[in-house]
Structures are given as structure tokens and as C-alpha cells.
A and B are shown apart, each in its own frame.
Chain A
Amino acid sequence: MNIKQIAKAAGVSVATVSRVLNHPETVAPKTREKIQKIIDEEEYTPNWFAQGLNFKRTRTIGLVLPQNLNSANMEVANGVEEVARQKGYITFICNMEKDPRREKEYLDQLITRKVDGLILLYSTLNEEYASWIEEENVPIVLIGETKARDSWDSVFVDCRAGAAEMTAHLIECGHKRIAMLCGLDPEPEAKAMLQGYKNVLKASGIKVQENLIQHVNNNIEGGYIGMKKMIGNLPKKPDAVFASSDEIAYGAMDALKEMKLRIPEDVAVAGFGNDRMSSLMEPKVTTVELPYRKMGIYGARMLFDQIEEKQAKAEKRRRPKKIQLHTKMRVRKSCGHGERIGEMF
């Protein structure tokens, strides 16, 4: 049955059926019950596309993320979906494979399909493309920093402070030659972390050595290759390695084990992110917890705030909202810390 047939069966107008579907509070209870009964019996569902045309909204949002095999990214997606579901929305999740071209393609597609809003996780957008999106007037929220824009609502964590805290912890553990395996992406975050690492070393009177800093792809393979390269090139192995992501740390640990180096006795390892796997590795990985799901939740919350403001035709463009979330040290075994202060208490 379509909406016309439902209306005929109930002896009401199409408009009344439509009101039952969209604003049931405006229909008299008796009429509403009668129509709803027919709708239920006939298992009628409204035409989704037609609804989109009528209300200028599709109840869909787009989430573009760097890589969907990465569990951290999927935790963010989980948070986005949690809020979207409560709002009655469907989320399109698009994997850009860390390819700026692919990110643009997806954004084009999502905008063409009239999503009500966009969430970009670790976006690679440049200035020019950001301007184009702004002209499209689609609500947009960034999770993580981007080079392109400072004027959009965003959720972020202070990666520089997180990296500084971890570097300080490694020094406190007694390590002096502390290397860093720094991911090439996400770029603003990686740069901030490198800065945090360098700042703490300098402040502690430890000379920053460029040959102890290796830039690698941000994945397990990147960590593995980077670790092998670094150990191969150095006359003396580092005491500790700080990886800018847990995946890089896993790769580095794999390489160290292969080279018969013990963790943490020969080389200590620290990661960043607190992926689920980090507490299952052997030894358990000391890392900095990033609130991935919460990042997704806040990203979606701010997006729906914008969508609702747009529907309410809020006048002036307000100041961009920036929500900073906290990071937290997770001290486990891989850093060589004798006591379990951070982990337990």
C-alpha cells in the first residue's frame, strides 16, 4: 500500500496520514489510532526519498574517516552512530584510505546525496576545498585538527601535552636515549606530538638527536620497518621508543622481538591511543588513552546542534565551538616502570 491507499482505507486525507507519520501530536487521538492501526497492519513504511524532498532533510549524516581497518577510527564511528541513532539518523561511513583525493570524492558524493551534515575525522582537506564546502552550506564538524580550517566546530585532544607526559614518564623510568617513531599522519597531531617530545627532552637537559627520530607510516608495518631501520642505522640502540600511535608501537614490538631484544629490559616501548589491543599485547603496552568514542559522541552532538540551529533558521553564525577532551596515561609493562601507580589507582 502507498500513502494514498492508506488514506482511502482510513477514510481520511493524505495530509492527515502524513501528519500521523510526522507530527502525530497534531492529530486527534482517535483518528490517530485508527490510522496507525492500518499503517501497522499493512506494514507501511513511508517513502524515504519523498520524505527527504518534502522536509528538505534526509535524516542521514556522513562520516569520512582515514581508514576503517583501524580499530581506533571505528571507535570514533561507534560514538557518532550512538548519537545519530538516538536522533533517528543513519550514518554513512566512508573510508578515504588516507587519500585526500578520495576524501574529496566522498565529500562530493555525500553532499550530492543531500546528507544533513558531515563529520570529518582527521581530515586532509586543503584551504581551497574547505572554501568550496562552506559554500554548500552543509553543517560540518571536525574531529581532530586540520590544516585547512580553524573556523569550524571541532573536537580535539591536546596531543602535544599527551606526548610530553609520556616522554616525561619514560625519563622518570630511567631512560635517557629515548627514540620516537613519529607517524606521517594525521599531520597536525603528529607534529604536535613531536614538539611535545622534543620540549620535554630539552627541558630535562637531554639533547634531541635527529637520528633517534624516525618518520613512519602510521600503521603496524610502518612501526615494524621504522624500528628495524632505526636499530640498523644506529651505533647504539635506544633505551626506549615512543610511538605516536599504538599500531606503530605494535609493529616496533614485533621488530624488537625479531631482533631478540627484550621489552622493556633492552628497549622499552610506549604507544599512544590505548587501542583495545594495547592491553592484550605481551608485554602490555604503556600508552596514552585517547577518548575515541567520546570524540565521536561530541562530534555528532555538535553536528546535530548545527543541524537543529539550521532548521530553526538561527540568524547569525555563532563563534565556532571547540571541545577539548582529556588524555590519560595508562602505565602498564612495556615502559619498564617498576610500580603500577597509573594503571591501578
Chain B
Amino acid sequence: MLKTNFLGMELPNPVMIAAGPWNRDGQRIKESLEAGAGAVVTESIISDTMLDVRPRIASDSLGAENIRMYSDIQIEGWEREMEIAKSAGGIVIASISGQTPSELAYMASKMERFGADAIELSVSNPAAESLEVVASHADTLYDMTKEVVSSVKIPVTVKLSQNTTNISKVAKAVKAAGGSGVTAINTVRGILGVDLETAEPSLSTYGGISGEYIRPLGLASVATIAQTVDIPICGVGGISCAQHALEYIMLGSSAVQVGTEVMLNGKESIRKIVQELEIWVQDHNVNNLSEIRGKALENLKAYDEMKFEPAIIHANGVPCSENCDKCIRACMYQAISRKGRSIRIEREKCTGCGLCASVCPAKKLKLDL
């Protein structure tokens, strides 16, 4: 039921494990596949290994920040690692990162020879590439994708960045260059916080933010690409349960990648997400995920197409026993007040913003005509 086609490959399920140190060598990738991942992306491989900054990862309750996470194995060593990674079967996608088309093409053709099933171009890391990530320039990305595509026979997907003025344009460039898909999104440049006592930011330089923080950004990016470019999408950003994966799928993703959740809670979380997914599709009589792919896009209109209906909030006579008063505090138009054990809505004051319905823990308020 969860079988998914992505980049022309048959995945047992749509939940992939994203590029990162948890997939840093053959053994680790094998473990990721054994944990039930539909496919696994290697830690990003670069032309020349670099010394790692210490510390380079920080996290809080909502996500994580990392400075740089690249493979410390030279490409020569990946011949051996890929053999181990694929020794028990499974789909392995090689993530490669570089600065020029010919450099990327060289690495891609090597990884193809070593047995990679597909290539993911990682040219959008906000920590390593300063303010203007390569993936924000459609022309550069076109040249890179084209040269890589022409030097391998396996599919090529490009990991895109939120850090661009128009992600649709960038995705179009990937398609025009012959890319088979896009992965969206990479981490987003940020600083997790500052220690007030020591005046030290979370890490010693700008990092890439991942986890909960970026899921709304990832969802919007995926939806935008799905609505404007006909190209398979792999959604990434803040996925830690089946609900999140399904949100990405309903907004147009064919597959999804999980990174930060694996980093913080281990690979067992993949098994859990896949199980939850199985239960959900059974409960909803979904035979194939393609039935729900992009389904939410029908309800996602452009601002210009929006209808302006005079809807206002209704409690529909449901008594409020929560007494939390959240709706009252959140109403910026002072349309809600308490009336004994219930709430009162002044119709003429309500402007239909919908916030009270969103904050109500009991979901008692509905926006209606």
C-alpha cells in the first residue's frame, strides 16, 4: 500500500532518511535501510574532506542547528562503503556537494560506478555557502544539473533551498536541465539562540536550522513547486510523524525525507513513522498514496483567486465548559466575551479572521456564513 514511485524507482514506502552523519558510511546506511527506510541518502560527499568544526550541532525543543555536516570519507573510500551499504539490497541515493559543474559531474559518475541508484545534488547548504547559496541562482543550478545529468545514466534530483526569491523558477531550471526530481527543502540559515550569561550564540557561526522550525517553510515550498512545475518532489523539513509526512504528500510530495528526527531520536523513529502511515492508509481506505498526493492543493488557491465571503464565527450553541478564555484573549476585535459558563459572540464585531477557531482547544468554534 505504501509503495511509491520516486525518480522512476520503486520505493517500498515513501519515507527516506535524509543526508547526514547518521548515513556517514556503508554500515550506517545499511542500518538505515534495515530500520525500514524507503530509501537512504548518503551523508553529503565533497571533493576534499575537511576538518570538522567543534562543536557544530546544537538543538532545542523545536529543532536543531548545524554548521556543516559533510562526509569525512574521500570519494575513493565510497567504493568500499557503497558495497557495504548495498550488501543487503535497498535504494541508496548519493548526496554530492561541490562548487562547479565539472566537479559535481565527476563525483556523480564515480558514485554511479560505485552503485548509487540516484544522485542528489546538495548545493543549498546555508552554512557552507554564505548568504547566496548556489541553489538560489537558477542559471548556475541549470548548468550544474545539466552537466551532472549528461554524465550519468541514473536519475538526478536537486536539493533546493528556501533561501531564494522564487523557488518555482529554480525548480523549473532543474527540470529544463533534465533533472528527474527536486528535494525541498534544505536547512534554513539561522541562529538558534544566544546564551545571555556568556553572550555566545548557539554555535560559533551561522548555521542551518532544521526540525519543527522549518516544516511550515518546507510545506509551502513543496506546494509552490507542485502547483507550478511538473516534476516529482521529495519533501523535507521537520517530519517526525506520519501526520507530517502525509501533509507533505497531500501538498504534492511523492516521497519525504526525515533527518533531524533520526538525529535526535534514532532510526527507530523511521519504523514508527512507517507503521503510523500504514495504519492511516488502512483507516482511510487508501490503496495507493498517489490517490492522496496533492489532494490539499485543490484547497490551496492563489491570493488573487480567493473569494471574499462574509463568514463569521459561530459557537453553534455548543456550551463552553473549558473556561480557558483563550478565544477571548485572542480576539483582536473584542467580539467574544464570557457569559456565565458559556461565551457570547457579537456578530457585528466579528470580522471572520478565524484565530479563535484556531486557538480553541476543544475546536468548538466554526467559521461560517
Nearest residue, chain B, Cβ from A322: B102
Q: Contact check, B130 vs A345: say whether CB atoms are below 8 A apart.
A: yes
Given contacts A293-B48, A297-B47, A298-B47, contact A323 B74 (CB under 8 A): no
A222 at the interface (CB under 8 A from B): no
Q: Contact check, A323 vs B206: say whether CB atoms are below 8 A apart.
A: no
- Give the chain B neighbours of A297 by CB distance below 8 A: 47-48, 74
- Give the chain B neighbours of A254 by CB distance below 8 A: none
Interface residues on A, range: 10 to 19
Q: Contact check, A79 vs B102: say whether CB atoms are below 8 A apart.
A: no
Binary contact readout B150-167 vs A (1 if CB under 8 angstroms, 0 otherwise): 000000000000000000
- Tally of A-B residue pairs with Cβ under 8 A? 42
Q: Contact check, A86 vs B106: say whether CB atoms are below 8 A apart.
A: no
Which residues, 290 to 313 on A, are CB-close (under 8 Å) to B?
291, 293-294, 297-298, 301
Q: How far is the CA of A86 from the CA of B100 in the complex (A)?
A: 24
Given contacts A293-B48, A294-B47, A301-B106, contact A345 B131 (CB under 8 A): yes
- Give the chain A neighbours of B100 by CB distance below 8 A: 323-326
Q: Which of B74, B101, B103, B206 contacts A83 (CB 8 A)?
A: B74
Q: How far is the CA of A116 from the CA of B130 in the complex (A)?
A: 41
A82 at the interface (CB under 8 A from B): yes
- Give the chain B neighbours of A86 by CB distance below 8 A: 74, 76-77
B99 at the interface (CB under 8 A from A): yes
Q: How far is the CA of A17 from the CA of B175 in the complex (A)?
A: 56
- Give the chain B neighbours of A293 by CB distance below 8 A: 48
Nearest residue, chain A, Cβ from B110: A301
Q: Contact check, A323 vs B102: say whether CB atoms are below 8 A apart.
A: yes
- Give the chain B neighbours of A322 by CB distance below 8 A: 102
Which residues, 270 to 300 on A, are CB-close (under 8 Å) to B?
291, 293-294, 297-298
Given contacts A83-B74, A345-B131, contact A298 B206 (CB under 8 A): no
Q: Contact check, B130 vs A323: say whether CB atoms are below 8 A apart.
A: no
- Give the chain A neighbours of B206 by CB distance below 8 A: 345
- Give the chain A neighbours of B74 by CB distance below 8 A: 82-83, 86, 297
A87 at the interface (CB under 8 A from B): yes
- Give the chain B neighbours of A82 by CB distance below 8 A: 48, 74
Nearest chain A CB to B105 CB, angstrom units: 8
Nearest residue, chain A, Cβ from B101: A324
Nearest chain A CB to B237 CB, angstrom units: 23
Q: Contact check, A323 vs B106: say whether CB atoms are below 8 A apart.
A: yes
Q: Contact check, A325 vs B76: say whether CB atoms are below 8 A apart.
A: no
Nearest chain A CB to B275 CB, angstrom units: 41
29 CB < 8 A contacts A-B: A82-B48, A83-B74, A83-B76, A86-B74, A86-B76, A87-B76, A291-B48, A293-B48, A294-B47, A294-B48, A297-B48, A298-B103, A298-B106, A301-B75, A321-B106, A323-B100, A323-B102, A323-B103, A324-B101, A324-B102, A324-B103, A325-B47, A325-B99, A325-B100, A325-B103, A326-B100, A326-B103, A345-B130, A345-B131
